[in-house]
Amino acid sequence: MATNSNLGIAKDVAAVENVIMTLLSQALRLDLLPDLDEKETETRKTPIYHDGAVSEEVLIEIEALENDDTAFDNAETVVQIDLEDLQPGAYLGGMDLHGIEVSGKDLKGIILTRSNLSNSRFAEDVSLRLARFNDADLSGAKLHGVNLFSANLFNANLSDADFANTNLRKADLTGANLSGADFHGADLRKADLSHADLGGADFSGANLEDAILDGAILKGIVLDDETVLEGTLLA
């Protein structure tokens, strides 16, 4: 009998707990509970990864929104990046870096996949060898004379970008939007431009020797007598 009595009490306690939890859930949904946090500014640190390890930190200051659990995702952010601390192979994927200006840096293998780099400027002394820009937005970017040897620009938006005299040898530009881009004098030997949109792009004086343009959109493409097309695959 004692055992049955204890079981009955336990069931009653569990029932009460369920009622309390239900009431709390309803109060939260109806915003009946007092605010636990005041509107405040928080500073959070996001690591930049280099070769599998944390190399540096980027300070991200956000204004937390009152009663918003997704404040960190939705609030307007100010990203402060000390360019002097950027390392080759750093990870900056998915970040909004539009209008950024970079000079005098070796950023070999840097990862900027899905990042917004529209209207950014990279000086000629910047090395982006083996960099990964796949699915990134580089529309209107200035990369005149930059070293992009074997860089991954798969499916990137490069419309109206400046690649004049840029080293793009063996670069992967598959499926990229290159419409209106300037490749005047660029080195594109053995580059892969399969299924890329080259509409209106300027390849005057560019070297496209052994480049692959299979399935590329060539409407309005600009070539001249100095454009090298030896061995170029146009099938």
Judge whether residue 160 has pLDDT over 70: yes
Residues 106 and 154 occupy one common structural domain: yes
* Residues in contact with 69: Cβ distance below 8 Å, sequence separation at least 6, in sequence order: none
* Residues in contact with 154: Cβ distance below 8 Å, sequence separation at least 6, in sequence order: 134, 135, 172, 173, 174, 175, 176
Cβ-defined contacts of 119-124 (< 8 Å, 24+):
122/146
Beta partners for residue 202, in sequence order: 182, 222
Q: What is the pLDDT of residues 201-218, one digit of tens each?
A: 999 999 999 999 999 999
What residues make up the domain containing 56?
35-80
Q: What is the pLDDT of residues 44-78, one digit of tens each?
A: 333 333 333 333 333 333 233 333 444 334 333 33
Supply the pLDDT for residue 87.
84
Residues 42 and 63 occupy one common structural domain: yes
Residues 148 and 172 occupy one common structural domain: yes
Supply the pLDDT for residue 22.
56
Judge whether residue 121 has pLDDT over 50: yes
Residue type at 69?
A: D
Residues 4 and 74 occupy one common structural domain: no
Residues 26 and 44 occupy one common structural domain: no
Single pTM value for the model: 0.66
Residues 24 and 39 occupy one common structural domain: no
Residues 14 and 113 occupy one common structural domain: no
Residues 96 and 171 occupy one common structural domain: yes
Q: How many domains does the chain have?
A: 3
Q: Is 227 helix (H, G, I), strand (E, B) or coil?
A: coil
Distance (Å, whole) CA 37 – CA 22: 23
Residues 197 and 168 occupy one common structural domain: yes
